[in-house]
Amino acid sequence: MIMYSFHKFPRLIELLSILIFCFILFGSGMSAAMTISVISDELPQEVNQETLVGYSIEISGIPKQTSILELTTDLSPVSDSPLWTINSDSLMLKNSTPNDPIIRLESTNGFADSLVINVTGYAPRITNSVPYGNVVITTRERQTDYIFYSVKALDANGDSLEKAVTKTFFVAVPSDQELTGRINSLDDPTLRLIAQDLYDKGLIQETIDIVEYGENSNSQLSLILIIVASIVAFVIGVVGALFFVSIKGRNSEKIM
């Protein structure tokens, strides 16, 4: 039995040699996934609209085959500061400027193991108020996730080498959060429904008027007042819809 075991050694050594060769052949082309570290304070999950945001990120683990590094953000540039600040003399912008939301970086002698980039900009504005006579209609973007940063490594053909590393945030409107809280706190369910309907149509001042009435009223709304408020909300909603349709029509005519 002992002699039999010794005879197995050459075969075992051969198998180990094959495994080592495969590891060297295939493992040499493998690298750790690209990672992004925030050097400054931790980025928040929620940012108020049009708030100034500034942070620094360190990009490491850049694939060796990377020809272009593509960076994206939803922040808007500040007048006296570039949106992107690249802390490297060996990197160049390709068909982009430091204030573009999407930039592409090239390196003259290959990307370093890590690089630091500073980002400074404003969070998006997601509300837009349009006056129409005595009525102001406020619209909101329905997008939920906005990009702090998204970093993607591309090869010489512009193809992605791996999945982009992305950090997102939610844009909040403080006045809206306060108002929706007041709507939800109304005791009268019918009044709460009317206020929510006005709010959804973008009629903020009218919503505030209804909410203030409900907060200051000790009794429930009369049937007549409920009917009148509902009719007003419906009419204003129709007028607002016609207003936006007319604007869209005029814009289409200008384009043509």
d(CA 38, CA 118) in angstroms, rounded, equals: 10
CA distance 56 to 109: 24
Contact yes or no for 38/169 (Cβ under 8 A): no
Beta-ladder partners of 81: 78
pLDDT of 26: 42
Type of residue numbered 68? I
pLDDT at position 27 is 43
The CATH number of the domain covering residues in 35-172: 2.60.40.10
**3-class state of residue 62 by DSSP:** coil
Task: Split the chain (256 residues) into runs of 10 and give each run's mean pLDDT.
Answer: 48 58 44 83 93 95 93 95 89 92 91 92 91 78 89 93 95 88 91 89 85 74 54 59 50 44
pLDDT of residue 255: 41
Provide the residue ranges of all domains of the chain, joining segments of one domain with +.
35-172, 175-255
One-letter amino acid for residue 72 of the chain? T
Q: Which residues contact 209 (CB under 8 A, 6 or more apart)?
A: none
Q: What's the N-to-C CA distance of the chain in angstroms?
A: 93
Tell me what pLDDT residue 243 has. Answer: 52
Among left, alpha and beta (phi > 0; psi -120 to 50; other), residue 58 is beta
What distance lies between CA 223 and its chain's CA centroid? 45
pLDDT computed for residue 229 by the predictor: 61
Q: How far apart are CA 170 and CA 45, in angstroms?
A: 6
Query: In the chain, at which residue ranges do the beta strands (DSSP E only) sit?
Result: 35-38, 46-48, 52-60, 68-72, 84-86, 91-93, 102-107, 114-122, 127-132, 135-140, 146-154, 165-172
Query: What local confidence, expressed as pLDDT, does residue 11 receive?
Result: 63
Amino acid at 227: I
Give the pLDDT of residue 128.
86
pTM check: above 0.85: no
CA-based R_g, the chain, Å: 30
